[in-house]
Amino acid sequence: MMPTINISFKDLNSLIHKKITLPQMEELIEYAKGEVENYDEQTDEMAISLDDTNLPYLWSSEGLARFFKGVMGEEAGIPSIKTEEPRREIITDKSVHPIRPFIAGFVAKGGKLSDYALRQFVQLQEKFCDNYGRKRKNASIGLYASKKIKFPVHYKAVRPESISFVPLEFDRPLNLRQIIEEHPKGKEYGSIISGHDHFPILIDDAGKVLSLPPIINSNDLGKLEVGDTEFLFECTGTDEETVNLGTAIFAYALADRGYTIESLTMKYPKTAVKTPVLIQDEIKITQTQIKELIGIELAESEIKKLLRKARYDYDNGTVKIPPFRKDILHPFDVIEDIAIMHGYGKIESLPMQTYTVGGTLALQKFIDKMRLGTIGLQYQETFSPVLTNKKLLYEQARFSDPGTVEIDNFTSETYSVVRTTLIPILLDLLSKNKHIDYPQKVFEEGIVTRRHDDAVVDYNFLTLVSTHSHTTFTEAKQAADAILSLLGIKGKYEEIEHSSFISGRAARILVDGTEIAILGEIHPQVLDNFKLELPVTALEINLSGLFGLKH
């Protein structure tokens, strides 16, 4: 969902340190792939929609002002912020590792917090956690009145009935289980932690509760108020990169408002980390890549000027990326920013060099026929990323590695390899939809990639899974027979032993002596790994192989 934010136009001008007009604002926001949706002169409130979901630092007045200063030439390059060395720490207990293992934070010190600044920080907090933090699963943020807190703060997991506190918006104490069941935020986000025997908790050295992450703050230490001059920021989550990104974005936003950032030490059982982590990643680009992609020749000095305008640093082919950005995965991402800063309108269009008539490939017609046939069997189609991780494929699903293509310089371990099978992907989908009524029958048609010696080959797979209390091998076989019958084919079934399936309830399908599918009942250990409570059957067909046999 594309984010929409509300800001004060006057506040934005004060952060830029220069007055801009509404027409200038409408021009500037185009550089950020956004537009002004509405502006009320009486209230000074402006609604801005942004088309890019990968730039969460722009979801606030502070981030927009920082970006605009670069576009306008008021500043250039990566902005620097001063951080004080840590004097305080958050101690992380090993008990939170299987639940919500990562945490980062800092203390911000400065002038009295205004009502408007507080509302901006809360807006950024909510937008980041809901969008980039995947509804608080990957990351959630807490803000606290740090002068009331006795450090060190302890981050640990406890039994839900063992601790009670008064949550925000309540006037009576509840234990952690009751918060999940009774508090509005508990009902909304409780499923993130409710499956665990222990819940994560932040508590200070005096035994006072800060929060139950990622659900709700306490009504005492977790209640940040207008006029506070010092507060604690923390971000917990299951994805370390997202946690560190959120922390960096907030550190810059607060520094933009004149706050001093005091680093904190995150003390883990075997290591200690100073946060916020403000590392500047690097990526290489060449003049040749720029010319090939956007069709213009730029001197090194011009490249440097345009990149510094976009708030990068640059030196002789090496681009330094600001800590508040984690969307740069390829040189093309940087070159896109060069094109934006240069101005697409300044790039000359070229006449077409060739003329061709488009058409649907025979393979695609074949695939569409198989997809429609599967929909006719009452399966619902899904789509998933082509990138995944080895833990999901080979540890949780217990598949043997058929030749994985790994990402050399991945930014998140969650997306560190190219998928080699779709069955684990669909099992993961089922595990996230246990709250939906049963039976659940879903399928996906998509590309999987496998390495064979020095060759890397893409295959189109069609994978079906069904889960309900009565699903058996027979259901998967009936689906396979129905799909093959669309082609007038009758496959030969051979029993196989496969670690992902129950012994004696798995088979492969041969057509003209070539294996084109596997099917069976998912092994109980795999079900347990994905926390699935009902039986699951799966069928996976190699459509590329089947198409090759028929054409």
How many CA atoms are closer than 13 Å to the CA of 17, on its beta-carbon side?
Answer: 10
At 457 the pLDDT is 94
Give the chain's length. 551
Spatial separation of the C-alpha atoms in residues 80 and 39, rounded to whole Å: 32
Tell me, letter by letter, the H, E, C secondary structure of 506-541: EEEEEECCEEEEEEEEECHHHHHHCCCCCCEEEEEE
At 89 the pLDDT is 98
Q: What is the pTM of this model?
A: 0.72
Digit-coded pLDDT (tens) for 288-302? 999 999 999 999 999
At 338 the pLDDT is 97
Grouping H, G, I as helix, E, B as strand and the rest as coil, residue 296 is coil
Percent of the chain with pLDDT over 90: 89
At 108 the pLDDT is 97
Tell whether the model's pLDDT for residue 276 goes beyond 80.
yes
Residue ranges of domains in the chain, CATH in brackets: 4-71 (3.30.56.10), 83-275 (3.50.40.10), 282-345 (3.30.56.10), 362-550 (3.30.930.10)
- pLDDT grade, residue 409 (50/70/90)? confident
Please give the average per-residue pLDDT across 407-422, as a whole number.
88
- pLDDT grade, residue 83 (50/70/90)? very high
At 145 the pLDDT is 93
Q: Which residue has the higher pLDDT, 410 or 224?
A: 224
Triad 72, 77, 80: Cα angle to 5°: 115
Tell whether the model's pLDDT for residue 410 goes beyond 90.
no
How many CA atoms are closer than 13 Å to the CA of 209, on its beta-carbon side?
Answer: 22
Beta bridge partners of 209: 203
At 194 the pLDDT is 94
DSSP string, 180-214: HHHSHHHHHHGGGTTTSSSEEEEE-TTS-EEEETT
Tell whether the model's pLDDT for residue 196 goes beyond 80.
yes
At 352 the pLDDT is 80
Digit-coded pLDDT (tens) for 364-402? 999 999 999 999 999 999 999 999 999 999 999 999 999
The helix-helix angle for 240-256 and 115-127 (nearest 10°) equals 160
Percent of the chain with pLDDT over 70: 100
- pLDDT grade, residue 550 (50/70/90)? confident
Digit-coded pLDDT (tens) for 463-512? 999 999 999 999 999 999 999 999 888 899 999 999 999 999 999 999 99
Q: What is the mean pLDDT of the chain?
A: 95
Pairing type for strands 209-212 and 164-165 reads unpaired
Spatial separation of the C-alpha atoms in residues 42 and 239, rounded to whole Å: 42
Tell whether the model's pLDDT for residue 534 goes beyond 80.
yes
Tell whether the model's pLDDT for residue 414 goes beyond 80.
yes
* Long-range pairs of 407-416 with CB within 8 A, sequence gap ≥ 24: 411/241, 411/326, 411/329, 412/239, 412/241, 412/242, 413/389, 414/239, 414/388, 414/389, 415/385, 415/387, 415/388, 415/389, 416/387, 416/389, 416/390
At 1 the pLDDT is 64
